[in-house]
Amino acid sequence: MADVRTICAVSGTRADFGLLRWTLEAIRRHPGLALRLVATGAHLDPAFGDTASEIEALGFEPAASVPLGTLGGSEREIGHALGGATQRLSDVLADLRPDMLLILGDRYEMLAAAQAATVARVPICHLHGGESTEGAIDEAIRHAITKMAHVHCVAAEPYARRVRQLGESPASVHVVGATGLDAIARLRLLDGAALDDDLGYAVGAAHLLVTFHPETLSDANPATALAGLLAALDRRRDSVVTITGANADAGGTAINGQLAAFAAQRPNVHFTPSLGQLRYLSLAAASAAVVGNSSSGLIEVPSLGVPTVNIGDRQRARLRAPSVIDCAGDAAAIAAALDRAMTADMRRIAARRENPYGEPGAAAKVAAILRDTDLDGILVKRFHDWPEPD
C-alpha cells in the first residue's frame, strides 16, 4: 500500500458539498490520505449562488474546476452538461492520477465523474447508494453509479441490502450512516439574535424554511407543480418564510424565477439562491417546519427536532422519520400538512429526534474505509447473485 493514498472527490452543488464537508475534512486530516477536490456544476454558476466561493471560504482549495455552462433550463442543456462533464473530468483524472474517486449521491455530475473514472480505471467509492427517489431521474443515476462503483458507503441497512441485491459484493458494502449528520454534531449553529443578525431579518417562532426542486420524471410543467406550494404559503402571512433556490436540474431556473418574484411581492417572504450549510442548518433548527421536496428534510432535519412537510413524489420511497409529513402538491393538501406540522403533538414527535439514517460519525468511517480498502484487483468485479446461492 502506498504511504499516502490520493483521493479525488467531486462536488457539483451546495447540497452535496454540505453532505461531503466533514468527510473531506477527515480525509484532509488523515495521515495516510491526500485530498484532491474538484468543483463543478452549480458551484461555478452565479445563477445558483456561485457556491465555489463557499468551498474556498471553508479552506478547501479545489485542485480543478470544471464549468458546465448554462444549467437548470431544459433537458437538452442537462444532456449537454453531462457530456461535457464526462469529457472534462476525464482530463482532470488523467492529470491528477488519483488512487480512488469519491462521489456522493445521484446527480448527473456524479454520473459523469463515474463514467470518466470507469474508463480511466480509477476505483470508485460511492456514498449514499441504495436509496430510492422514484420521482426523479436521480433514481436511475444512483443505481447506475452503484454498478460502476467498487466501494459502497451507505446510510442504513435497508440501503445496504439493496446494493447487495444489485449484485455487489457484500464485502464492498459498508453501513456508515448519513454523512450530513456530522455537520449537525460538529457545527455550532446560530440561534436567536445571532441568526437574525446574520440573515438581516427576524425569524420568529412560526418560521418556515422552504426548498422546492423540479420533479424530473413528472410530465407537469415546473411552474404548475410550484403553484400549490405558493398558494399554501400565501395563506400563512403570520409566518416569516425563507425560500432557498432550486437546484440545477431541468426546470430549476424557471422555478427560481417564480420563487424570487413571489418573495419580492411579500414582506414576510425572503428568497436566496443559497444559504450555505451553517445558515441552512441553523435556520432549519429555528423553524416551525421545513417544507418542500429536498432530501435534507428527510435525512438531516429529523436530527434537529423539527417537523418536515414533504411535498409530492420526488423523495418517494426514501426512509423517513416519524416527524416527516407527506402530502400531495395541491394547495389544500400542503396547507393541511402545514397545519399538522404546527401542532403540539407533531412538535413532540419531532422533539424525539428519531432518525433512520443513524448517528453522526460517518466521516471518520469513510476516511478509514478509503485508506484500508485493498485496491489490488479491485477493478475486476464479480456479479453476486441475489439471493446468495446455497
pTM recorded for the entire structure: 0.88
What is the average pLDDT across 83-104? 95
For residue 383, is it within any domain? no
> What confidence tier does 217 reach under pLDDT thresholds 50, 70, 90?
low
| 297 and 196 share one domain | yes
What is residue 223's predicted lDDT score, i.e. its pLDDT? 67
Task: Kindly provide the b/e burial profile for residues 268-282, where b requires at least 16 CB atoms within 10 angstroms of the residue's own CB.
Answer: bbbbbbbbbbbbbbb
Do 12 and 76 fall within a single domain? yes
- Kindly state whether residues 22 and 165 are assigned to the same domain: yes
Summarised one tens digit per residue, pLDDT across range 74-92 is 788 888 888 988 999 999 9
Decide if 184 is inside a domain.
Answer: no
CA distance 210 to 200: 18
Is 237 among the domain residues?
yes
Same domain, 104 and 217: no
**Residue 283 φ/ψ, nearest 5 degrees:** -70, -40
Pair 29, 132 in one domain: yes
Does residue 173 sit in the same domain as residue 244?
Answer: no
* Vertex 272: Cα angle to 41 and 274 (nearest 5): 35
Helix (H/G/I), strand (E/B), else coil: 294: coil
Q: Please report, for the domain that includes residue 129, its CATH number.
A: 3.40.50.2000
- Residue 32 sits in the same domain as residue 102: yes
Q: How far apart are CA 79 and CA 149, in angstroms?
A: 22
User: If pLDDT is split at 50, 70 and 90, which confidence band does 339 have?
Assistant: very high
Residue partners of 97: CB distance under 8 A and separation at least 6:
6
Whether residue 225 sits in one domain with residue 90: no
> Has residue 270 been placed in a domain?
yes
Cα distance between residue 381 and residue 116, in whole Å: 18
In a domain, 125, yes or no: yes
Verify that 26 and 162 share a domain, yes or no.
yes
CA-nearest of 179, 68, 187 to 125 is: 179
One domain, residues 162 and 205: no
87 and 213 share a domain?
Answer: no
Domain count, the chain: 2
Domain holding 220, by residue range, is 190-351
- Per-residue pLDDT, averaged over 261-287, amounts to 94
Does 166 lie in the same domain as 203?
Answer: no
Phi and psi at residue 6, to the nearest 5°? -90, 125
Average pLDDT of the residues in 15-34: 93
Residue 387 lies in a domain: no
